[in-house]
Amino acid sequence: MIYKECKNCVMNNYITQIEFDEKGICNFCNFYMKEVLPILSKCQQEGELDRIVSIIKKERKSKYDCLIGLSGGVDSSYVALIVKRLGLNALAFHVDNGWNSDISVKNIKNIINKTGFDFFTYVIDWEEFKDLQLSFIRAGVIDIELLTDHAITAVALKLLKKEKIKYFISGSNYATEAIMPAGWSWYKWDSINIKHIHKRFGKLPIKTFPTYNFWGKFLLMTRYKVIRLLDYIKYDKFKAMEELSKNFGWEYYGGKHYESNFTKFYQAYILPTKFNVDKRYAHLSNLICAGLISKEQAKEELKKPIYYQDELEQELDYFLKKFNLTKDEFTKIMLEPPKSHYDYPNGVWINNFLKKFLKRLAL
């Protein structure tokens, strides 16, 4: 196959689901320009953020104006800073899945101390979570992070209901997270997929792992409101890190979502090795589209090794000990052909029905 790269970003024809227009621009860039920029333009109209904040304060029915999640990463940390500046009283929460880096723990502690927000930590049972993650690793599916993302939303739903909070302010944003090939992840709400993969490959009963069903997703789309706060400002990730360092003593951890030790190993080793996926291409292309870096800067970043050998050996050893796996066992799993989430029972059909139902409801 002849190598072809987008004229605008660093996405190329070795990436699944890519298409190029007559100008050599990829479908991911065209999506950003045609779909994302108009949304951001609307969100960032003068007075729009003030209007949203006013509504949140007006509709407060309990001690808290809103709920925010904290991972110790740049996006969620910056949300905490902005929420504090806006004068909103937030309940902050964190889901501890057993993989926190020391830096992320320190960042979270500093943020809570500085903001004074009430803080709740949900600690996932490690033996259960280990069994769930191992079942996904053995299943050969790509989105192992589905488990953590699903648990975070499940805990958020419980807190929204318990504390009578309507607004969940999310760190998700278009400036850094709009570009991602569909085949590189799976639907985060799919508890059916989680259940069946674990039933086939897991060994322990799952009694306490936080989960939610399609009714929970329906509630998130109707009863509660998810606000993507960073889309309402001109979000510059690099300036945000400087502000966080100045205000909270916040520290960077080396890569997107690397505040989690598992995410780092997953993105820097499991994905490239087993699935031939390097998420840096999508992350950097997103920053190019957002005007935060140049294509030349992205190319320089891609020249760097995704893992330095001594670091890989150290973290592979940590990973294997954490999972009670031998190197031979893990190597065997990694050499097995990848499987699709579609190869296991899933809830896509229910989701499609729900989307059609909500569309009719809107009419």
What's the pLDDT tens digit per position in 284-299? 999 999 999 999 999 9
Q: What is the total residue count of the chain?
A: 363
In the predicted model, what is the mean pLDDT of residues 13-21? 93
Cβ(196)–Cβ(132) below 8 Å: no
**DSSP at 23:** T
Cβ(273)–Cβ(316) below 8 Å: no
**DSSP at 36:** I
Q: What is the pLDDT of residue 221?
A: 78
The residue among 218 and 46 whose pLDDT is bigger is: 46
What's the number of domains the chain is made of?
Answer: 1
Q: Is residue 3 part of a domain?
A: no
Residue that the structure tokens 């190319």 belong to: 299
Q: What is the pLDDT of residue 363?
A: 46
What's the pLDDT tens digit per position in 178-237? 999 999 999 999 999 999 999 999 999 999 999 998 788 788 778 899 999 999 999 999
What's the pLDDT tens digit per position in 74-85? 999 999 999 999
Residue 351: strand, helix, or coil: helix
- At 100, which CATH number? 3.40.50.620
Question: How many Å apart are CA 114 and CA 96, to the nearest integer?
Answer: 21
Average pLDDT, the chain: 94
What's the pLDDT tens digit per position in 243-278? 999 999 999 987 666 778 999 999 999 999 999 999
Dihedral of alpha carbons 58, 59, 61, 65, sign: negative
Q: Is residue 145 part of a domain?
A: yes
Q: What is the pLDDT of residue 361?
A: 67
pLDDT of 351 above 90:
no
Q: Is residue 339 part of a domain?
A: yes
The closest of 323, 180, 190, 316 to 257, measured between CA atoms, is 180
In the predicted model, what is the mean pLDDT of residues 30-59? 97
Q: Is residue 37 part of a domain?
A: no
Question: How many Å apart are CA 140 and CA 278, to the nearest integer?
Answer: 17
Q: Is the pTM of this model over 0.85?
A: yes
Q: Is residue 6 part of a domain?
A: no
Domain hosting residue 339, numbered range? 45-362
Q: Is residue 36 part of a domain?
A: no
Least confident of 14-23, 97-106, 248-257, 305-314: 248-257
Beta strands in the chain (DSSP E): 66-69, 90-96, 118-123, 167-170, 225-228
Within 10 A of 225 (CB to CB), how many other CB atoms are there? 18
Q: What is the pLDDT of residue 92?
A: 99
In the predicted model, what is the mean pLDDT of residues 150-179? 96
Q: Is residue 183 part of a domain?
A: yes
Residue that the structure tokens 């789309």 belong to: 221
Question: How many Å apart are CA 316 and CA 318, to the nearest integer?
Answer: 5
